[in-house]
Amino acid sequence: MAWSDSCSGAFEKWADEVGDDTFKFDTVSKYYRKGMNFTPPANTRSTNATPSYNPALVSQGGPLDVTYPAYANSWTTWVAVAMEAIGIKNTDSFIDGALNGSAWHTNTINHTTGTRASADRAYLRPYTQRPNLALFNGTLAECVVFNDDKVATGVEVTVSGNSYILKANKEVIVAGGVFQSPQLLQVSGVGPATLLKNLKIPVVADRPGVGQNMNDQIFFGVSYRVNIQTGSTLSRGEAAAISVEDFKANATGFLTTPGGEYAGFEKIPQDLRSKFSAETLKSTFASSAPPSHYLNSNLISKKANTSCHSPSNIPSRLARSRIPGHSQLRRQPRHLPCPHR
């Protein structure tokens, strides 16, 4: 996965909206560093694919491995040139709160093994033997259980068709992801009262924002045929066998790169905004937040023979991912809530 900080303006907005300055970037960025175990780029990358970075912005010793892949696609160096050519300036990284310009992505990868680092590997697996940690695999949280004082006292779960309640000693933390967290809250009676009443869900707390303001991140790719070495050619025949061997023997080679290795962020230029709809122009994002993200990819495609990119035939604009206004989360609760106990 790509690893970067969000932009300082987004945190500023968050802090303003909840009236709590501890959400500002200067405070939050300390926690980005705390989690990080950074390793500099390996010397297996060519010179023009070796990223620069600001040593003051990285840190070592955290649980999550962050580095640059041991391998970079040769054509990605051209993406860097293209970004600069269209005005998205090359920068050191996306970890200074600016989130503007273009840079090689840092990734959550273990530098020594070339394998993926993740929240699971960093924060869970090393601690599964702790006596104060119990994992319930294959278990679906059906709803949060509240007492008469509206205090969450547990979670009703189902495993293999059987339901029971996990009681909380202290608190219940909901971390079901972008869709399922609001869904779980709603079926538990926490959400917009009108919606819950229509669905005959007893209202524990009228929270109009729960399940609202979902932003669709529109993503699309633009492909060009080339006759240079790409993910397609490296994934076939002898090249693929070499990649597997490189990875197993030395944690190097094509298989160490997750793709999307170079990216750019920008506010969509004014001349291109003229045809935006009024709905699109409504943005809930911080004014400094760049709404478009360009990402190169080494996705596998059919091999074709055409001329390779040169500075003169680089497309004027790369693939664009635009984040417009917001749409409502429309997922319905899976079923009526379990009774509050």
Ligand X SMILES: Cc1cc2nc3c(=O)[nH]c(=O)nc-3n(C[C@H](O)[C@H](O)[C@H](O)COP(=O)(O)OP(=O)(O)OC[C@H]3O[C@@H](n4cnc5c(N)ncnc54)[C@H](O)[C@@H]3O)c2cc1C
Position 134, amino acid: A
Least spacing, CB of residue 122 vs ligand X, in Å:
13
Tokens (6 digits) for 278: 């009024």
Task: Single out the segment in contact with ligand X by CB under 6 A; choices: 31-39, 123-131, 176-184, 197-205.
Answer: 176-184
Smaller CB separation from ligand X, 1 or 281: 1
Kindly state whether residue 221 participates in binding ligand X, applying the rule CB under 6 A. Answer: no
From 40, 61, 126, 177, residue interacting with ligand X (rule: CB under 6 A): 177
Q: Calculate the alpha carbon distances from 6 to 11, 15, 32, 278 in Å.
A: 8, 14, 10, 26
Using CB under 6 A as the binding rule, the residues of this chain from 225 to 284 that contact ligand X are none
Kindly state whether residue 176 participates in binding ligand X, applying the rule CB under 6 A. Answer: yes
* Residues 131, 132, 137: CA angle, nearest 5 degrees: 90
* DSSP percent split of the chain into helix, strand, coil, nearest 5: 30, 15, 55
Using CB under 6 A as the binding rule, the residues of this chain from 130 to 169 that contact ligand X are 140-141
User: How far apart are the C-alpha atoms of 169 and 80, rounded to whole Å?
Assistant: 53
Smaller CB separation from ligand X, 29 or 226: 29
**N-to-C CA span, the chain:** 41
From 115, 180, 212, 233, residue interacting with ligand X (rule: CB under 6 A): 180
Tokens (6 digits) for 165: 């309640």
Smaller CB separation from ligand X, 177 or 208: 177
Smaller CB separation from ligand X, 90 or 321: 321
Smaller CB separation from ligand X, 8 or 188: 188
Closest residue by Cα to residue 10 from 285, 337, 247, 259: 285
User: How far apart are the C-alpha atoms of 59 and 293, rounded to whole Å?
Assistant: 26
From 134, 175, 249, 278, residue interacting with ligand X (rule: CB under 6 A): 175
DSSP 279-330: HHH---S-TTS--EEEE-----------PPP-GGGS-SS---EE--S-B---
Least spacing, CB of residue 141 vs ligand X, in Å:
4
Kindly state whether residue 184 participates in binding ligand X, applying the rule CB under 6 A. Answer: yes
Smaller CB separation from ligand X, 80 or 263: 263
Task: Single out the segment in contact with ligand X by CB under 6 A; choices: 64-72, 88-96, 170-178, 199-207.
Answer: 170-178
- Binding residues for ligand X, rule: CB under 6 A, are 1-2, 140-141, 175-177, 180, 184
